[in-house]
Structures are given as C-alpha cells and as structure tokens.
Amino acid sequence: MEKILLSLSDAFAQAPYKVLKYKSFVLAGLIVMTTIMVYGITTRTTMDMTTDSFLDEADPAAIALDEFREQFGSDESIFLVYRAKDGNVFSRESMEAAQQLTDDLRNWQSLDRSQYPESVNGIVLDWDELNHIRRVQSIANLRYQESIGDSLLSNRLVPSSLPESNEELGLIRGNALSQEDYLLAFYSENTEYGAILIQTDFGTKPVEGFVSAVDAIDVSLDDSFGAFNDDETFNLEFNEDIEVQEIEFEAVDMLGYTSFQIMSRAIYEKYEAQFEFFPVGTPPLMEFMLEMLGEMMVLGIILVLIFTLLLWILFRSFSAVIWPLVTILLSIAWAWGIPAWTGVVLTTMISLTIMLIFAVGIADCVHVMSAYFSFRREGEEHHIALSHAYGKTGLAILVTTVTTMCGVMALATSDLAMIQVFGWTSAVGVFLAFFFTIVLLPILLDLWHPGNPDADASFADKLGKRWHSLKRNTKFCIAVVYFAAVFATLGLAVGSYIALVTLLTYVVVNWQKPILDAVPGITARYPYVIMAIFGSIFIACLYGMSKIRIDSNMAELTREGSAIQRAYAVVDENMAGSQSLEIVINTNTIDGMMNPRLLQAVDELQTRIEARYPNEISRTNSLANIVKETNKVMNDDDPAFDRIPDSELMVSQLLYLFNSSNPEDRRALVSDDYSKSHISISAYNAGSYQYQAFFTEMEEEIADTFSGLEAEFPELQVTVTGSMAMMMRMADDLARSQYASLLLALGIISVIMIVTLGSFQGGLLAMIPNMIPAVLSFGLMGLLGLPLDADTLLIAPIIIGIAVDDTIHFMTHYRIDLARTGSISKALISTIRDVGQAVMFTTMILALSFALLSFSGHLGMAKMGFFGAIAIFFALLCDLFLIPAMIITFKPTFGVKNVNKEIDFSKATTVHS
C-alpha cells in the first residue's frame, strides 16, 4: 500500500510535465469539446420543471391522483382568502366588491386591459393565462336550495341586486351563517374573512398536439348507430375489448403556475382598497418557489464576487482567481453538456450539481495552488513548483474525488428518477473537476502565473504593504469607518456577515503562519483536553441527532412574517384550512355509488375521521352529503330526512335530480357511470411527518369502515390521495431516503479511508473527524428543535462531502509524509504547515460562501447554509486540533514500518528548517 501511494504521488508529480508536453493539443481539444458542450447546453437541454417530477409514478397514491384528475378534473386551485377591511364580508361595500371581482375573474375577456399594468416586476402580463380558470366560486354566485310549499328553489346566497335596506342585508348574513356547507369554506364564522375559489384546469389539459383517435382519416360510427330494428327498437353494439384512447395530460411547471398566479393577482389587486388578500394553493406556492430560485441567482452572483475577492486577497494574484474559475466553469459546462447531448432529462436540481462542482472545484484548485504558491514563495522555479504541488496534493484530490463521487452516487439508489439523475450528473461533475484540475490547470498556470514573488509584487501585495506601513491609530480609524459604513449601508444581518468575512480574511492573511506554527505545540501540550472537548461535543450532537425530526412543512418553509406564511396562518385560523386531501372510492361496479349501504359507509367514514381529527380536519364533503341534503330538501326540510335513504330507488332518483340540475357539480363528484367517487377533506396545514401518520391511520379507518361491503363490492378500492398531500408524502419519503443515503455515504467514505490509509485503526481514527461535522450540523438542529426537511436534506450530502474533503486531504498528506519521513512528529509538522494553509483557505472560501445562503428567504436553504458553514468551520478545527491530538495520543502508524513515535516538535521543526 505504502509503495502504491508513493508511486501514485510520484505519478501526480509527473502529470504537469506530461500535460505541458502536449499543451497545444490538449488545449485545442478542450476548446473544441467545450464548444460542443456549450452548444449542447443551449440547444439540447431537456428541463423538467414540473412538480410531478417529484412524484414516484409507481406509488398507488400517485396512480390514484392521476385517475382522480382524469375523472374529476384538476384539484389545483387558488384559494383566495380575503379580509374585509371594514370587518364584514357581508357589508354592502364588501359584497359589491366580491361580486365585481368574481365577475372580473369569470368574464375577464370583457375587462378593459388598458386599466391594468402591462407588466408586474418586469414580467409581462399574459392574459391568455386566465384561460386556465375553469370555475370561480364565491359568495357572489353560491346557491342554496330551499323548499317553500310545493316549490323547490335554488336561490343565490347573495342576490345579484343587493337589497336597499340594511335590515335585509343583515338577513343575508344570518342566512349565510346557517349554511353549514359554505361556512368556513367561503366565509369565516365572524364574517371578517371571505374566500374565492378559483379552480383551474392545470394537470387536466391534454398535451399540445394531442390528436383524438376519432380524427384519424376515414373514421366513422359503426353501423349500429344507424340501424333501427323492424320492431322500432335500437341497440348500439359494444365491444369491451376495444381500448378507450388514453389522454396524456400536459405537465405543469413552476413557470406555468407562476404566470397564472401573477395574472390572477393583477386582477384581484384592484380590490385592495376593500380587501386584504391571502392566496394559498399551488399557484401562489409555486410563485414563491420561483422567487426563491431568482433569489438564489442573486445570492449566486454575490457568492462568486466574494469568492473572487477572497481568492485574490489570499493568493494575491489574479491568475489565482481566473484559472480556478475557468477550471470550474469547464467542469460545469461538461457536466451539463453530457446529459444534454445524451438526452437525459434534467430538473432544477442541476443548480445543486453546479453548487457541488463549484465547491469541489474550488477545493481541488485551492489545494494545488496553495502548494504551488508556497513552493514559489520558497523560491522554486515555476515548473518544479508545479510538479511538487501536484506531487503533494494529487493523491489527496483523487481520494476526495472518489469519496465525494461515492457520496453522491449513493443518491442514485433513490426510487425517484430526478434524484438518480442528480446523483449521476453530480458524480460526473465531481470527476470532471478533478480531471480538469489535473489536465487543464497546469496548462493555465503555465500560460499565466505570478512572477517572482519578491521581485514582482502584485497589486494585492503592494496594497498589503501599504496597509502595514500605516500607523496603528490610522489603521484603527480606517477600520472603524469601514465597519460603520458596512453596518450603515447593509444593515445588521448582512453587515455582520460582511464584517465577519473581513475579520476572518484579515486574521488568515496576516496570522496564518503564527497560527499554524502554534498548532503542534498546543496539541502536544493538551491532547486529552482537546479530545475531551471534541468528544463531549460529539456525544452531545449524537444525542441531538437522536432528537432530529424529519418533517417538511409549507408554513415552516419561509421566514416568520413572509407573505406566504401569513396566508397559510390566516387560512388555517379563520377558514377551513389551507390543505386538501381526497379519498378516492372506486367500486369497479357500474352504479356502485348509488348503493345506499356504500353511501352510508362513506357517510360513516366522514363522521369518524371528523371526530378523530378535530384539530387537523375542518370539514369533509362527498356524494353522501348531496344525497342527504337533497333528501332533506325534498322532504320539506325535515331534519329527520337528513340521512341516506335505505332504498336504492330513492337514492337513484335523488341523484337524478342532482345530476339534472348540476351536471358539472355531479361530474366533479361522481363518475358518469357512478362507479367512482371521492371524499374531499379540508385540512389545516401540517408537516409531512403528520401527513405520513395521517395516511396510515386513515387507511386503517377505511379498511374498518368498508369491511362489511366486501361481499357486495369485491373489487372496491379506496385510496387516500390529493396533490398537496402527495407532495408532502413525497417530501417525507425523499427526506428519509436522503437521510439513509447520507448515512450510506458516510459508511462508504469510511471504507475508502480505511483502504487509502492502509490500516483499519487509521481508517477508524479518520472516521471520527469525518463524522463530527455531519453529526454537528444535524445534532445542532435536533438540539434546537429545528426539523430536517426535504430541501435541507438535498444539500446536506454536498456540505458533508465538502467538510470531509479537508480532513481527507489532511489524513492522506500525513500518511504520505509519514511514509517519507518515518517520523510522526515530522510528518505532523509538515502536514500542518503544508495542508494547513490550503485547508484554511478552502474553509474560508466555502464556509463563507455557504454562510451567505443563510440570507435566503427559503428556510430550507438558509438552514443548510448556516449549519453547513458551521460544519465546514468545525471540520477545520478538527483538522488542526483533533487529528493532531489523536495522532499524538494513539500514535497510529498506518502500516508504515519502523516509525519514530517520539513526539518532539522542536526537533522536528529544526530538522525540517
């Protein structure tokens, strides 16, 4: 093993020479290939931005959701809750405004478009988006049935022309409050809040270019359509083997929902004088998500700026800024271009791949350049310095590449195609970052590199010298003015962040050498204290990890007080809740839903779940409610008839009445052949954890309620589904599988460490500092009671991967130095000195970059940014203090023979110098 490692190191040392020998050839090849890749990205990228890409198509609930949509139409809607500013949605002004707004939404074609802005926040309003509106319901067009004498009336809740007297207006309010089916669905109990339900056709629109089978050439009705029998009878032929054409529905992406939401808002915003609006539902949520993506782009730009500035300050040369950027950009171009050319469908997760390549690329380049620059500063000639730098860092880069690749490939075991693609593209990206660091970076550094550090000082060097020549008081004054300006212009939060960046940079630039020199002494003096401190943190965090709650919750996705969070809170507090679930009932029997016993079971199920979950569920609605209500109305509103009749004939006729008068409502509730129906459940917002439990319990209730009907309906299927419920459920599954992959990745990394370090003891030893950053971030979240959601977990493997990279660099370097020097002290000293600087630099750049994500409005991202930054910083502390302390205490030899185990840093330093 030892020999293999040393020869690998030598091979890496030779790599720059080999590459430079074919410089023009390599460069020309890379330029051509990259051009092809960029062309592929711009012309051939297939991006799936639909929310369905998150769903596992094989899940029974997902199948049920598809069937549900096909049968009953889209369940995607905007639930537009409004607060009447005069405190009463049934005041004259409020009712008039609600009537007008409802009319605007229903008959938008007649609106005067010159009264509306052309664009909102730079997005041009597209009026055609309003074609997605299928139905608008509000107090303005709700009806209730009333039986007076021999007349059955279907009256408007609010008459089109409002009555003159206030007394009569009061009656409208009183009547509305007595309509149980509408209370909480369309107005709150205190009538301060109202709601407009805008139903859409999202997810139920046939795909573009869909051609109906009847449009084929020469298609005609079969002969039975024109064949009357002699006895004046008529029978259509039928053939149950004939396949009914399946319609493929257009998938909806974030952009689609957002454009619709923006356009709808332009319409309702005109009523802001009267109402305050709280929209919930998929369209507003997707708009928020898209805003978050936009915000990520801004953060991304700032990130690149900070990264550029830090590289320049740390290395004091622009070549150190430009070349890593080029290397990383090339890696990204190839990692994106390859799937584009091979026709792989990408998702928004490509942004995470880019983030990963960026982080890994920086780590690779910084390690090489840190070594190269330090050899240059020691006076070595360019080519020799380059060769030495690769010899020192190449192997470690290879190992980190392999471990990170394994980490992300663990995701490829996921059931979800989008996660698999993410795993593979990321693995390819990580490899490419390594490949270009070895193949391209030497050529780039050969093209342009800093001259003799002493003779040819860079601008940054000059600036540094100038600063140091200033008097202490002047420095102090400048610092005070600088910090004051930062806080004044950027505010406390961002100001603190920039101040931290400045301070850390200052400390690292000016005192890195003294710090690194002091490290061996400190660790040698207090190894047990250091281990005890890290040990207690480790144990505390393990405890925290046991407390971690995996839960994705819409309301916890954003910061306190954000518009979307307020909307959810308002809807949950005042209305029937912001979420909906569907229980799909398929009897697989024609007219099955007309069976009184089945309807009674449906009614019982509704009663049971409403009773069992009074805090989670506000209301349920189904065909059973319709039958009961019609039965009562047809019997002079006698409450004794508020039940499902026992006679099938009666049920059938009550449904006949309902179907004749409200075919659209009927079709939304029960299939044409009365074999399928559904129970709609309005629920208050809850986390995915709760949903998951809810699904399981509900299935038990269903099995229990319908158990007596097996003989009559042997093929009865009852499934819980619904878009939002599915999303939550998938979020939970995703989070769990991510968590599992993460643990798997840690296991794989440990095995690789054991192999690389050539010793079980060494590998285990390396595992502890490797695990601490991961355990720390999750443990802290557990201790603070913060839930771990799907979004947070998506970035977790990236951050953990980066955090362990530095540890791997440290351990690999130490292992090689131990083999070369045969002395623990010497190996430790040289490792701290050589790797220490690079580890400090990468930590600075990456931790500060990730810390920037803490400012995201998306809490999942912000949490991971913050805890990720802490993990990366902590990994640095582990590398500098814990690893040396453990080496000093346990004196592992990693299979190297005849090692001098004496710990004497003074000698070691002397020998080296």
Partner 1 sequence: MQGNILSKAVISLVAALLLIPLQSIAQDLSGREIMEKVEDNRRATSNSALSRMQLSTCKFGVREGKITCAERPRVKSLESVGKGYGPDLKDSRSIAILLDPPAERGIGMLSFIYDDGATDNETWLYLSALGRVKRIASGSSDDETEPGSLFGSEFTTEDQDTGKLDEYEINLLEETVESGREVWKIETIPNEKRARQSRYSRTVLYIDKERFVELRMEMYDQYGKEIKRMLGARVELMNGFWVARSTTIMNLVTNRLSNMAFLEMHTGIDVPDEFLTQRTLTDAAFRETELAKLRAQID
Considering the complex, what minimum distance in angstroms separates the CB of residue 79 from partner 1?
A: 21
Nearest residue to 414 via CA among 401, 427, 402, 424: 424
Nearer to partner 1, 243 or 456 (CB): 243
Distances (CA, A) of 877 to 106, 179, 770, 780: 62, 65, 12, 17
The phi, psi pair for 894, rounded to 5°, reads 50, 35
Out of 46, 107, 510, 696, point to the residue binding partner 1 (CB under 8 A): 107
Out of 230, 240, 456, 700, point to the residue binding partner 1 (CB under 8 A): 240
User: Which of the ranges 101-109, 432-440, 707-715, 767-775 carries the binding residues for partner 1, by CB under 8 A?
Assistant: 101-109
Out of 43, 121, 213, 711, point to the residue binding partner 1 (CB under 8 A): 213
Out of 167, 230, 243, 454, point to the residue binding partner 1 (CB under 8 A): 243
Q: Are 772 and 540 in contact (CB under 8 A)?
A: no
Nearer to partner 1, 239 or 913 (CB): 239
Out of 661, 717, 889, 909, point to the residue binding partner 1 (CB under 8 A): 661
DSSP 28: H
Out of 546, 660, 898, 910, point to the residue binding partner 1 (CB under 8 A): 660
> Which helix (H) or strand (E) element contains residue 120?
strand 119-120
Out of 156, 462, 465, 612, point to the residue binding partner 1 (CB under 8 A): 156
Nearer to partner 1, 106 or 367 (CB): 106
3-class secondary structure, 747: helix
User: Which of the ranges 206-214, 418-426, 475-483, 776-784 carries the binding residues for partner 1, by CB under 8 A?
Assistant: 206-214
- What whole-number distance in Å separates Cα of residue 642 and Cα of residue 721? 28
Out of 58, 236, 488, 711, point to the residue binding partner 1 (CB under 8 A): 236
- What whole-number distance in Å separates Cα of residue 241 and Cα of residue 494? 67
Out of 150, 164, 454, 700, point to the residue binding partner 1 (CB under 8 A): 150
- What whole-number distance in Å separates Cα of residue 627 and Cα of residue 414? 45
Q: Are 106 and 595 in contact (CB under 8 A)?
A: no
Out of 46, 647, 696, 906, point to the residue binding partner 1 (CB under 8 A): 647
Q: Are 192 and 233 in contact (CB under 8 A)?
A: no
Contact flag: residue 112 with partner 1 (CB under 8 A)? no
> Which residues have a Cβ under 8 Å from the Cβ of 531 and sit 6 or more positions away?
882, 885, 886, 889
Nearest residue to 501 via CA among 319, 297, 307, 363: 307
Contact flag: residue 245 with partner 1 (CB under 8 A)? yes
Q: Are 580 and 724 in contact (CB under 8 A)?
A: yes
Contact flag: residue 640 with partner 1 (CB under 8 A)? no
Out of 47, 153, 345, 493, point to the residue binding partner 1 (CB under 8 A): 153
User: Which of the ranges 182-190, 367-375, 666-674, 893-901 carries the binding residues for partner 1, by CB under 8 A?
Assistant: 666-674
Nearer to partner 1, 228 or 466 (CB): 228
Considering the complex, what minimum distance in angstroms separates the CB of residue 665 from partner 1?
A: 8
Out of 308, 502, 621, 662, point to the residue binding partner 1 (CB under 8 A): 662
Contact flag: residue 206 with partner 1 (CB under 8 A)? yes
Q: Are 588 and 695 in contact (CB under 8 A)?
A: no
Nearer to partner 1, 205 or 809 (CB): 205
Query: Is the CA virtual torsion 368, 374, 375, 381 positive or negative?
Result: positive
Considering the complex, what minimum distance in angstroms separates the CB of residue 73 from partner 1?
A: 10
Which tokens sit at 422? 């993410």
End-to-end CA gap in the chain: 29
Contact flag: residue 165 with partner 1 (CB under 8 A)? no
Contact flag: residue 179 with partner 1 (CB under 8 A)? no
User: Which of the ranges 21-29, 168-176, 235-243, 529-537 carries the binding residues for partner 1, by CB under 8 A?
Assistant: 235-243
Contact flag: residue 913 with partner 1 (CB under 8 A)? no
User: Which of the ranges 45-53, 204-212, 520-528, 689-697 carries the binding residues for partner 1, by CB under 8 A?
Assistant: 204-212
- What whole-number distance in Å separates Cα of residue 551 and Cα of residue 634? 48
The angle at the Cα of 839, spanning 835 to 842, to the nearest 5 degrees, equals 140
Q: Are 433 and 364 in contact (CB under 8 A)?
A: yes
Nearer to partner 1, 118 or 243 (CB): 243
Contact flag: residue 673 with partner 1 (CB under 8 A)? yes
DSSP 879: I
Q: Are 89 and 760 in contact (CB under 8 A)?
A: no
Contact flag: residue 242 with partner 1 (CB under 8 A)? yes
Nearer to partner 1, 102 or 393 (CB): 102
Residue carrying the six token digits 């707004």? 101
Considering the complex, what minimum distance in angstroms separates the CB of residue 227 from partner 1?
A: 8
Considering the complex, what minimum distance in angstroms separates the CB of residue 120 from partner 1?
A: 23
Nearest residue to 717 via CA among 702, 736, 739: 702
Total residues interacting with partner 1, rule: CB under 8 A:
68
Return the residues of window 555-614 that contact partner 1 according to CB under 8 A.
590, 594
User: Which of the ranges 233-241, 456-464, 740-748, 894-902 carries the binding residues for partner 1, by CB under 8 A?
Assistant: 233-241
Residue 137's beta-bridge partner residues? 197
User: Which of the ranges 113-121, 208-216, 851-859, 865-873 carries the binding residues for partner 1, by CB under 8 A?
Assistant: 208-216
> Which residues have a Cβ under 8 Å from the Cβ of 410 and sit 6 or more positions away?
423, 741, 742, 744, 745, 748, 797
AA letter at 28:
A
- What whole-number distance in Å separates Cα of residue 204 and Cα of residue 756? 55
Chain centroid to CA 152: 52
Nearer to partner 1, 415 or 664 (CB): 664
Nearer to partner 1, 150 or 456 (CB): 150
Out of 22, 25, 39, 234, point to the residue binding partner 1 (CB under 8 A): 234
- Overall residue count recorded for the chain in this entry: 913
Contact flag: residue 664 with partner 1 (CB under 8 A)? yes
Out of 167, 232, 454, 700, point to the residue binding partner 1 (CB under 8 A): 232
**Strand residues in 263-363 grouped as ranges (E):** 275-280, 345-346
Considering the complex, what minimum distance in angstroms separates the CB of residue 567 from partner 1?
A: 29
Out of 121, 167, 209, 219, point to the residue binding partner 1 (CB under 8 A): 219
The phi, psi pair for 157, rounded to 5°, reads -65, -45
- What whole-number distance in Å separates Cα of residue 350 and Cα of residue 335? 9
Which tokens sit at 218? 């020469």
Query: Is the CA virtual torsion 34, 40, 42, 43 positive or negative?
Result: positive
Which tokens sit at 214? 């009847």
How are beta strands 345-346 and 46-47 bridged, if at all? parallel
Q: Are 522 and 327 in contact (CB under 8 A)?
A: no
- What whole-number distance in Å separates Cα of residue 626 and Cα of residue 657? 11
Considering the complex, what minimum distance in angstroms separates the CB of residue 158 from partner 1?
A: 11
User: Which of the ranges 154-162, 361-369, 377-385, 447-455 carries the binding residues for partner 1, by CB under 8 A?
Assistant: 154-162
User: Which of the ranges 78-86, 234-242, 445-453, 896-904 carries the binding residues for partner 1, by CB under 8 A?
Assistant: 234-242
Return the residues of window 4-63 that contact partner 1 according to CB under 8 A.
none
User: Which of the ranges 31-39, 207-215, 258-266, 269-277 carries the binding residues for partner 1, by CB under 8 A?
Assistant: 207-215
Considering the complex, what minimum distance in angstroms separates the CB of residue 673 from partner 1?
A: 7
Residues near partner 1 (CB under 8 A) are 106-107, 109-110, 131, 143, 147, 149-156, 159-160, 205-206, 212-214, 216, 218-226, 228, 232-234, 236-240, 242-245, 247, 590, 594, 634-635, 647-650, 652-654, 656-657, 659-664, 666, 672-673
